[in-house]
Amino acid sequence: QVQLVESGGGLVQPGGSLRLSCAASGSIFSIYLMGWYRQAPGNERELVARVTRGGSTSYADFVKGRFTISRDNAKNAVYLQMNSLKPEDTAVYYCTAISGGASWGQGTQVTVSS
């Protein structure tokens, strides 16, 4: 079993930046994919970005060119650098790890507002 703890959310103005962090513990040796999802009120949870153990990344179209996912295998952590934030990026952001099954963090709120 994998435990995930996110941090780094908050309130930011449009055009600003935030960096989310996710620390993994537990059965980390079995993780082969980590990623970030988000869920806004009234919407379904949607994929934002993901990264494999080897470092291959993929992004949702709505964040390409603005967000960057990275992974530090030595620290068992994954990060999401979010630049040029828009009000529509407001959501709870969840870290996930795939290791046979899927593990989820508790989520961190990101609010983009002036």
pLDDT at 97: 94
Which whole number is the average pLDDT over 51-64?
A: 94
Distances (CA, A) of 108 to 13, 45, 60, 100: 17, 13, 19, 24
More confident residue, 75 or 49: 49
**Is it the case that residue 35 has pLDDT exceeding 90?**
yes
When pLDDT is cut at 50, 70 and 90, the band that residue 81 belongs to is very high
Distances (CA, A) of 23 to 3, 68, 91: 8, 17, 20
Of the chain, the percentage scoring pLDDT greater than 90 comes to 82
